[in-house]
Amino acid sequence: MAVINDMTFKMGGEAGQGADSSGHGFAKALARAGLYVYGNQDYMSRIRGGHNFFQIRVNERDIQASTPGIQVLMPLDLMTVTEHLDEMVPGSAVIMDAPMKIDDSRLTSRGIKPIRVPLTEIAQREGGNKIMMNTASLAVAAGLVDLPFEFIEQVILDNFGNRKGSAIAQANIAVAKAAYDEGAREFGPDFEFKLKPIPNTHRMLINGNQAIAFGAAAAGCRWISMYPMTPATTVTEWLAAHHKKLGIVVKECEDEITAVLMAIGAAHSGVRAMTATSGGGLSLMVEAIGLAAITETPLVVVDAMRGGPSTGLPTRTEQSDLQFVINLSQGEFPRVVLTPGTVEECFQAGWRAFNFAEKYQIPVFILTDMNQSNAIRAIDQDRFDMGAVEINRGDLLTDADLDALTEPYLRHKLTANGISPRAMPGHPNGVMLTTSDEHFENGQAVEEVEMRILQMDKRMRKLDEAAKDIRPPLLEGPEDADLTLVGWGTTYGPIHEARLILSADGLKVNHLHYHEVWPFPSARTEEVLGNARRVIDIENNYTGQLALVIRMMTGIDIPHKILKYDGRPFTGEDLAEKVREGVLINV
Amino acid sequence: MAVINDMTFKMGGEAGQGADSSGHGFAKALARAGLYVYGNQDYMSRIRGGHNFFQIRVNERDIQASTPGIQVLMPLDLMTVTEHLDEMVPGSAVIMDAPMKIDDSRLTSRGIKPIRVPLTEIAQREGGNKIMMNTASLAVAAGLVDLPFEFIEQVILDNFGNRKGSAIAQANIAVAKAAYDEGAREFGPDFEFKLKPIPNTHRMLINGNQAIAFGAAAAGCRWISMYPMTPATTVTEWLAAHHKKLGIVVKECEDEITAVLMAIGAAHSGVRAMTATSGGGLSLMVEAIGLAAITETPLVVVDAMRGGPSTGLPTRTEQSDLQFVINLSQGEFPRVVLTPGTVEECFQAGWRAFNFAEKYQIPVFILTDMNQSNAIRAIDQDRFDMGAVEINRGDLLTDADLDALTEPYLRHKLTANGISPRAMPGHPNGVMLTTSDEHFENGQAVEEVEMRILQMDKRMRKLDEAAKDIRPPLLEGPEDADLTLVGWGTTYGPIHEARLILSADGLKVNHLHYHEVWPFPSARTEEVLGNARRVIDIENNYTGQLALVIRMMTGIDIPHKILKYDGRPFTGEDLAEKVREGVLINV
Amino acid sequence: MSDMKLFNIDEKPTWCPGCGDFAILAALKLALSGLDLYPHNTMLVSGIGCGSKLPYYMKANAFDTLHGRALPVATGIKLANHDLNVVVISGDGDGYGIGGNHFMHVMRRNPDLTHIVENNQVYGLTKGQYSPTSDKGYISTTSPDGSIEIMVNPMAVALAGGATFVGRGFAGDPKHLTQLIMKGIRHKGYALIDVLQPCVTYNKINTYEWYKQRAYKLDDEEGYDATDYESAWRKAREWDERIPIGVIYQEDRLTYEAQVEELADGPLNRTSPHRDREVLDSIKLEFV
Amino acid sequence: MSDMKLFNIDEKPTWCPGCGDFAILAALKLALSGLDLYPHNTMLVSGIGCGSKLPYYMKANAFDTLHGRALPVATGIKLANHDLNVVVISGDGDGYGIGGNHFMHVMRRNPDLTHIVENNQVYGLTKGQYSPTSDKGYISTTSPDGSIEIMVNPMAVALAGGATFVGRGFAGDPKHLTQLIMKGIRHKGYALIDVLQPCVTYNKINTYEWYKQRAYKLDDEEGYDATDYESAWRKAREWDERIPIGVIYQEDRLTYEAQVEELADGPLNRTSPHRDREVLDSIKLEFV
Ligand SMILES: Cc1ncc(C[n+]2csc(CCOP(=O)(O)OP(=O)(O)O)c2C)c(N)n1
Ligand SMILES: Cc1ncc(C[n+]2csc(CCOP(=O)(O)OP(=O)(O)O)c2C)c(N)n1
Ligand code: SF4
Ligand code: SF4
Ligand SMILES: [Mg+2]
Ligand SMILES: [Mg+2]
């Protein structure tokens, strides 16, 4: 009767209690056991106190989102119990420190098992420090669900630098072992949810921001200038932590204006350069992005979205910058907008962005969001294939090309495809001028009608070229579905899960996922949506921005929408339920 | 055979030679003569040199745009002659200083009359200063076309402070008189284009920026903080020149970020406050506009558009910020966008903006452009009716209201229409907190789902309310036309003129003009365009932004477009010609 | 003196236990009540950061703005209603980093604002990156090998920039801080009060102990004359071994609002909107 | 010494006749050739304004950026290719007004940039509004009754902010200016060169004559030691009666780029993109 390899763990507590890092370690142990894992965190805009949690869903198949039910809750404080009681499924367990002040009947009455273990005591006794209570709690959980102890042990060792001899590692292991044994012995037999390692797997555990940063690194990015802003900061922090290995210059600046402008300077000089920020910082970059556009400087900007407007919900998720990014800055210019929805797509966006930027000499945006920035997923290692990463710098003149040049070099030369050969400043034959004013081919400012039109046309032509490189939206599920679910970016996961659930119900449903959204892939959109029977647009925002873009570009209206703007991500179950109930929000 | 009251004058020269101010004086004389006038300038981004011109079209009927043909050219330098020769109509005249180095046959061969008058000599002889040559040139023109001398004299007197005794005024009048007489006597009889004053008229001559500023003043605006940027600066400069009369605080800041934030501070305190800028400055204001939105601070922002992207064409016109303004800043919030297309509409936008801003406690944009900012038009004085200006401050609590308050004041109270009563900070019962974070009704930051949704819904509800106040697009011409011309903002003039021309051709054509564009007037749009036979979208930009918005909001596609992005405004003739020829640019 | 309790509110600060911001909050409340000010005639304007949350935890008019943007909003508020006592709250990143240009230019204007900078030499709210006041060599997630920029010296910049009141306090000495804030509020003009504020979570270098060892009171310096620019300049540049706290410099200069003629008749917000049909019609005639 | 003619180009400046910018252009070309620099190893980075048009009128690599934004672009360029000689050109509004925060923070970093500020104490290109360096009381279209802010003193701010080279030149003395620019370029680190630049069209107060009456050369001051911070501080604050020109202050400090280890092997742009399959695969294992 046991349920094998299908459950959710949740660890919660005040900010600063470490639910996050402990949970992350536990997820790693699960991934190493060959299981698929999806973990996401929820935290408040404060450093200590409040209520944060980390949630880990485990499964035997690749999973893309969390589910509502919890099988094992690991509260570090009382609030975590009371806050999440409603989410516990029958037969689930709450692993509590023995003295936790809650009446067990509040749990048992709902069919939840109160698992009281003297966590602090064990931590102090075996490890000599009560902060090892988190470790104890996780170890009880591992024991409870039959996860072999070796996986817990290994993660502890790793955390402490893999030095077997380390006293602190040994203390933690001792705590874990004692707790594990008690969990397994006292409560295991009675607990129906179990994990069974899958041998011979090669998983890795990564979140969206790491994947984007890793993708950029794989593209040979050597520059990131930025200003800290949640949830984008970790892109930089990951690169900073690896700067020696990657040879990347990391520059924290006095503000986002400087951050983007320094990147523009570096990019103009021939370095693959990027910046990463969130909405408020992006707002400050708007003027400079126009500069990149008119000077045809390759620029990669990561915008990790959060609840808006303004400071809004600074540690919550939202997908509300799409139209902003497509339309930002005065005047008109070509740009590319990538909207990855999985860690694999984040990785790809990370390197593809640089190819778009350099090939077309334009600003390229990677739009991600709070949820995706932090959510971790276990995937097969070969999904991050370094061999498949292409580097295309576009039409970049080499020293030899410049040596051979017989005519004056023209930075903004008019060409058939709109792309002017680029050179790095420094070569005697490549002396170049560029400017934010409209310009002649040689960069001199121009006000005359004719050249203005030619340069404008030239720049806009690049959009047509870039459109050929854009990956059309992904259609998953049967071509001739009765229902088409449409989404972009981070909703990929929950929609994917919802599709599986609804398909299991017998519904013929497919999923149109936009991961590269601008230049807008109109042809494929018309092909799929033009003939769709019933369409639902699903977005983490108020106005249904993708639906608006679709209508703007194709005329196709999607009146049925499921929109969520409370700062929390969807789950597959939520969506499936809403679709079933026909609870469709029309705006 | 004379053509009466239908002609165009053009004065041109290097920057700094005064074509602009002289031309403006001449236009004033014409308006006082009871004629309708439309004048626009064309200038380069430099202080001296280059080539600038000022062009004045005169007519007996109210006119809204310039026309291509010139009847009288007044070159202050040689370049002006060569640059504009192609625009001269047969029978037209070039009024030149006698020694101007150009072969008369280049003129006569095209049927143009070279009118050589020793302008500098007259200036020096009669006035004692050769810079009075401009005056001489205009006076010759006046003589040539039979404009009674009194109008010239009066303008000169006005310019010099209306002091009859002023020596410099007298010198100028002497120059003018001598030149006028020579023009009338020697060349008048042979010249077929004539002006005839219309008595008992009451005209005024005003440009778009003055009209916006005047509208704001009429609304009781008491604050403008700004940073200089062409073509918006003159809004401020006009207010600064009148600050004593209007009691308006004018604050030039260190940048546009400060400018908009100071206005937000002032507005929050209960002052009607605005800022004015162009695209680059607006880009810098993006973050702060989101702040105004979430704190529900009434804010009026004038964006005078110019050729983009980036610095682009800094002294040229374009309509390319529409989508930017509708979508700017992270997250989603209500806003109003006014897009006046005539000086009357500019005036109205100037005061209506404050009512929208205060009634709905939102950011309101007035979009104008370089052409409209500077173009002057003579209109009947009663078109600017101060009595018709309404002041609606919305739900603003008085001291008495606050005295009577029994419950704590809630700045962001949830209400049925989304509007929370506003109070000015300072009253003991009205102590208030607001923040850029999402907040409770009392302004405290909130992260919980429920209040987030309530506040988001509350803010967005205001858009529905505001939609009721928005003036639907103006339809001019027959309801059942064969052709509908669609435009917004400054294209009103040329489209209006084109409609008249095409109607005269016998075409049944009407004109749908958007002057208040967001919240988008979908109902009226569907009504008019849903049944239109043939539609052409006309815009001063590359992508056809209004057409994109129309499609986004109604699904109606307008494949036929006439788009112009060379920094110059349309003329009615251009448009009529393009329509006739079927030269439609499809993007 | 007003009742300090008037400034109390039922909101528990979300700061980390031990954070220097608690003392600043307490000192501000004491200073306001000591000056007989009230929640309704006080306006707090803050940026974004740990320290900038201060207005949430006390009762007074408040506008929490954007990261780095408190000063211009505060200037707008002050000019619109100069009857309000306007206190600006920002962090070091907020006030000297992203908000540095507002800082430079507000000094030239000298509006009557009291600007408290909670200077913990680190970015607290975003979890510990180095800030413009971090010491050179400071190690953080964005400077893993130590930052390679010299720190901003806000006292020196303020003196060079034309501030009319330049002071420094220490969150570890709340009594002294209260007095200093009172002086700042009493000062007619822009008053900068930089506060050494230990961030117990992220800044493990500049701790209470570190500051305590270095901070000394200018009040205790015999004959120190804060109105003497030259002496002030020497004190402003002290750092590291010895860090002076107290009023470093003070000068009399007309405030900005005293020079704006539109404000002569009283606060602008009381007479806005302003409209006189006759005036408008007379202006109309200029276009004729 | 390179041939100055190499820097010539067939573009007539659009400045007003008599504008101080002409002399600055000439001095810059002379300084570059005097230092044996070439168009291809020089990079001019300018903002927007009359003065910022300078790069249009000579031959060299150039990036004309945005109003106020030259410094960060220049820093990016310098760090990406430290072999380039990078000269930044801005106006007073550009450099000290809207670009003030970049100015404050570039000094902390000390990249090897030479920053020429064409200081005409007015906004030229936008037709004569007052600027942050306009004297208090300056009358303009946006200050019809005279501005009521005190001017920025860029020399003092630079000293307080940590600039390692602080100099002032005068467009009315192009020879001296040429020498000064040469010193600035030779200086390893951030060199500020503020140039008194008459705007003959809009600034009728601070004219050639006005400056000439006041400017005096520090070279002529017996025993003036620009490496002495205290003396520099006194000179930096002189204005009005007497205005010192020349090198006010100079200090040796490591440049930013000398401290970035990624640049040790040569310019970054020469080795970008950088990709090592083995390194990447090893990093991948961290996620396991
Ligand atoms: C435009 C913008 N950029 C970045 C952020 C993110 N952010 C919030 S607080 C903060 C820094 C806080 O440091 P500080 O100002 O020193 O205040 P502290 O938290 O240390 O009190 C940053 C970078 C933001 N809110 N807005
Ligand atoms: C963001 C932005 N704001 C405003 C402008 C308009 N603008 C162009 S140049 C300039 C001021 C020029 O003054 P300064 O920097 O002193 O240079 P100058 O023309 O006097 O040489 C301004 C305000 C702009 N281009 N961009
Ligand atoms: S992170 Fe630092 S500054 Fe922020 S609340 Fe905690 S101790 Fe205070
Ligand atoms: S306006 Fe002034 S600064 Fe600009 S070019 Fe003319 S004289 Fe020079
Ligand atoms: Mg800080
Ligand atoms: Mg200037």
Q: Could you tell me how many residues make up chain D?
A: 288
The band of A99, judged by pLDDT with boundaries at 50, 70 and 90, is very high
Q: Measured between alpha carbons, how far is C52 from C33 in angstroms, rounded to an integer?
A: 21
Q: What pLDDT sits at residue B164?
A: 65
Residue A224 forms beta bridges with which residues? A250, A274
Pairing of strands B193-194, B3-4: parallel
The band of D286, judged by pLDDT with boundaries at 50, 70 and 90, is very high
Instruction: Output the six-digit token pair for A316.
Output: 């919550």
Per-domain residue ranges of chain B:
3-194, 207-381, 399-467, 474-584
Nearest Cβ partner for A241 among C100, C123, C144: C144
* Rounded (10°) angle between helices C100-109 and D100-109: 120
State phi, psi for D264 to the nearest 5 degrees.
-60, -30
The band of A526, judged by pLDDT with boundaries at 50, 70 and 90, is very high
Mean pLDDT taken over chain B? 95
Q: What pLDDT sits at residue B163?
A: 66
Task: Specify the CATH number of the domain B3-194.
Answer: 3.40.920.10
Angle at B149 between CA B144 and CA B155, to 5 degrees: 115
Residues in C closer than 8 angstroms to A280, CB to CB, are: 66-67
Residues in A closer than 8 angstroms to C68, CB to CB, are: 255
Residue A91 confidence (pLDDT) above 70: yes
Contacts of A322 by beta carbon, 8 Å cutoff, 6+ apart: A337, A339, A367, A488, A517, A541, A545, A546, A549
pLDDT digits (tens, 9 = 90+) for A5-60: 999 999 999 988 888 888 999 999 999 999 999 999 888 888 888 889 999 999 99
pLDDT digits (tens, 9 = 90+) for A341-364: 999 999 999 999 999 999 999 999
One DSSP character per residue, A534-581 reads SEEEEESSSS-HHHHHHHHHH------EEE--SS----HHHHHHHHHH
Do residue C156 and residue D160 have CB atoms under 8 angstroms apart? yes
Q: Measured between alpha carbons, how far is D6 from D62 in angstroms, rounded to an integer?
A: 15
Q: What pLDDT sits at residue A528?
A: 98
Instruction: Output the six-digit token pair for A394.
Output: 């576009």
CA torsion A274-A466-B566-B529 (nearest 10°) is -120
Compute the radius of gyration of chain A from its Cα atoms.
Answer: 26
Residue C195 confidence (pLDDT) above 50: yes
Range scoring the smallest mean pLDDT among A175-184, A314-323, B462-471, C265-274: C265-274
**Distance from the A302 Cα atom to the nearest Cα atom in chain B, whole angstroms:** 14
Instruction: Output the six-digit token pair for A178.
Output: 């004692």
Residue B124 forms beta bridges with which residues? none
D106 alpha carbon to ligand 5 midpoint, in Å?
Answer: 20
Instruction: Output the six-digit token pair for D193.
Output: 């060169």
Q: Select from 1.20.1070.10, 3.30.70.1400, 3.40.50.920, 3.40.50.11740 the CATH code of A474-584.
A: 3.40.50.920
Mean pLDDT taken over chain C? 97
Q: Measured between alpha carbons, how far is A299 from A251 in angstroms, rounded to an integer?
A: 16
- Beta carbons of A484 and A528 less than 8 angstroms apart: yes
Closest among D4, D26, D19 to D176, alpha carbons compared? D26
pLDDT digits (tens, 9 = 90+) for B67-100: 999 999 999 999 999 999 999 999 999 999 999 9
Q: What pLDDT sits at residue A161?
A: 74
pLDDT digits (tens, 9 = 90+) for B339-348: 999 999 999 9
* Residue with CA nearest ligand 3 atom 5: C15
- Beta carbons of D262 and A243 less than 8 angstroms apart: yes
Compute CA B258 distance to the chain's CA centroid, rounded to the nearest angstrom: 25
Q: Measured between alpha carbons, how far is C142 from A226 in angstroms, rounded to an integer?
A: 10
Walk me through the domains of chain D, giving residue ranges and CATH numbers: 4-255 (3.40.50.970), 256-288 (no CATH)
Mean pLDDT taken over chain D? 97
Q: Measured between alpha carbons, how far is B284 from A548 in angstroms, rounded to an integer?
A: 26
* Residue with CA nearest ligand 3 atom 1: C124
Kindly list the residues of chain B whose beta carbon comes within 8 Å of any beta carbon in chain D: 16, 44-50, 226-230, 233, 236-237, 240-241, 243, 250, 252, 254-256, 280, 310-311
- Beta carbons of B59 and B36 less than 8 angstroms apart: yes
Q: Could you tell me how many residues make up chain A?
A: 587
Q: What's the half-sphere exposure (Cβ side, CA atoms, 13 Å) at A232?
A: 26
Beta-carbon neighbour count of residue D239 at 10 Å? 14
Residues in D closer than 8 angstroms to C97, CB to CB, are: 105
Specify the DSSP class assigned to residue B296.
Answer: T
Angle at B448 between CA B456 and CA A8, to 5 degrees: 125
Closest among D189, D180, D127 to D162, alpha carbons compared? D189
Closest among B412, B422, B496 to B456, alpha carbons compared? B412
Q: What pLDDT sits at residue A582?
A: 78
pLDDT digits (tens, 9 = 90+) for D231-245: 999 999 999 899 999
Residue B511 forms beta bridges with which residues? B476, B485
Q: Which helix (H) or strand (E) holds B51?
A: strand B49-59
First to last CA, chain C: 59
Residues in B closer than 8 angstroms to A549, CB to CB, are: 552
State phi, psi for B310 to the nearest 5 degrees.
55, -145
Q: Measured between alpha carbons, how far is B502 from B487 in angstroms, rounded to an integer?
A: 16
Task: Specify the CATH number of the domain A207-381.
Answer: 3.40.50.970
One DSSP character per residue, chain C reads ---GGGG--S----SPTT-THHHHHHHHHHHHHHTT--GGGEEEEE-SSSGGGGGGGS-SEEEE--TT-HHHHHHHHHHH-TTSEEEEEEEHIIIIIITHHHHHHHHHH--SEEEEEEE-SEETTTTSEE-TTSPTT--BTTBTT---SPPP-HHHHHHHHT-SEEEEEETT-HHHHHHHHHHHHHSSS-EEEEEE---TTT-SSS-HHHHHHHEEEGGGSTT--TT-HHHHHHHHT--SS-EEEEEEEE-----SGGG-GGGTTS-GGGG-S---HHHHHHHHHTT-
Residue B586 confidence (pLDDT) above 50: no
> Ligand 4 in contact with D207 (CB < 6 A)?
no
pLDDT digits (tens, 9 = 90+) for A307-344: 999 999 999 999 999 999 999 999 999 999 999 999 99
Do residue C274 and residue B247 have CB atoms under 8 angstroms apart? yes
The band of B48, judged by pLDDT with boundaries at 50, 70 and 90, is confident
Q: Measured between alpha carbons, how far is D207 from D214 in angstroms, rounded to an integer?
A: 11
Q: Measured between alpha carbons, how far is C68 from D2 in angstroms, rounded to an integer?
A: 46
Q: What pLDDT sits at residue A163?
A: 66
pLDDT digits (tens, 9 = 90+) for A404-426: 999 999 999 999 999 999 999 99
Residue A73 to residues A20, A85, A121, B231, B508, Cα–Cα distance (Å): 14, 9, 19, 62, 74
- The two most distant CA atoms of chain B are separated, in Å, by 88
Q: Measured between alpha carbons, how far is B206 from B227 in angstroms, rounded to an integer?
A: 23
Fold agreement between B207-381 and B474-584: yes
The band of D76, judged by pLDDT with boundaries at 50, 70 and 90, is very high
* Residue with CA nearest ligand 4 atom 5: D15
- Beta carbons of B333 and B290 less than 8 angstroms apart: yes
D8 touches chain A (CB under 8 A): no
Residue A587 confidence (pLDDT) above 80: no
Residue C80 to residues A134, B221, B347, C140, Cα–Cα distance (Å): 54, 12, 25, 42
Closest among D136, D137, D147, D85 to D111, alpha carbons compared? D85
Classify the C-alpha dihedral B229-B234-B240-B246 as positive or negative: negative
Contacts of B96 by beta carbon, 8 Å cutoff, 6+ apart: B75, B81, B102, B114, B115, B116, B117, B119
Q: Measured between alpha carbons, how far is C48 from D104 in angstroms, rounded to an integer?
A: 21
Q: Measured between alpha carbons, how far is A372 from A318 in angstroms, rounded to an integer?
A: 10
- Beta carbons of D286 and A31 less than 8 angstroms apart: no
* Amino acid (1-letter code) at residue A504: A
Q: Measured between alpha carbons, how far is D27 from D44 in angstroms, rounded to an integer?
A: 14
- Beta carbons of D177 and D116 less than 8 angstroms apart: no
Closest among B473, A446, B283 to D14, alpha carbons compared? A446
Residues with CB under 6 A from ligand 3: A 47; C 15-16, 19, 21, 50, 120, 124, 199-202
Beta-carbon neighbour count of residue A51 at 10 Å? 20
Residue A586 confidence (pLDDT) above 50: no
Classify the C-alpha dihedral A324-A325-A328-A332 as positive or negative: negative
Do residue D274 and residue A431 have CB atoms under 8 angstroms apart? no
Name residue, tokens 């405004």.
Answer: B569
Q: Measured between alpha carbons, how far is B22 from B16 in angstroms, rounded to an integer?
A: 11
Name residue, tokens 């702040």.
Answer: B291
Closest among C109, C275, C269, D126 to B237, alpha carbons compared? D126
pLDDT digits (tens, 9 = 90+) for A214-265: 999 999 999 999 999 999 999 999 999 999 999 999 999 999 999 999 999 9
Taking CB atoms and an 8 Å cut-off, how many pairs form between chains A and B?
A: 216
Q: Measured between alpha carbons, how far is D113 from D187 in angstroms, rounded to an integer?
A: 9
Q: Provide the ipTM.
A: 0.98
* Amino acid (1-letter code) at residue A97: D
Residue B587 confidence (pLDDT) above 90: no
D48 touches chain B (CB under 8 A): yes
Q: Give buried/exposed letters for C108-131 (b at 16+ CB in 10 A, else e).
A: bbbbbbbbbbbbbbbbbbbbbbbb
Residue A585 confidence (pLDDT) above 80: no
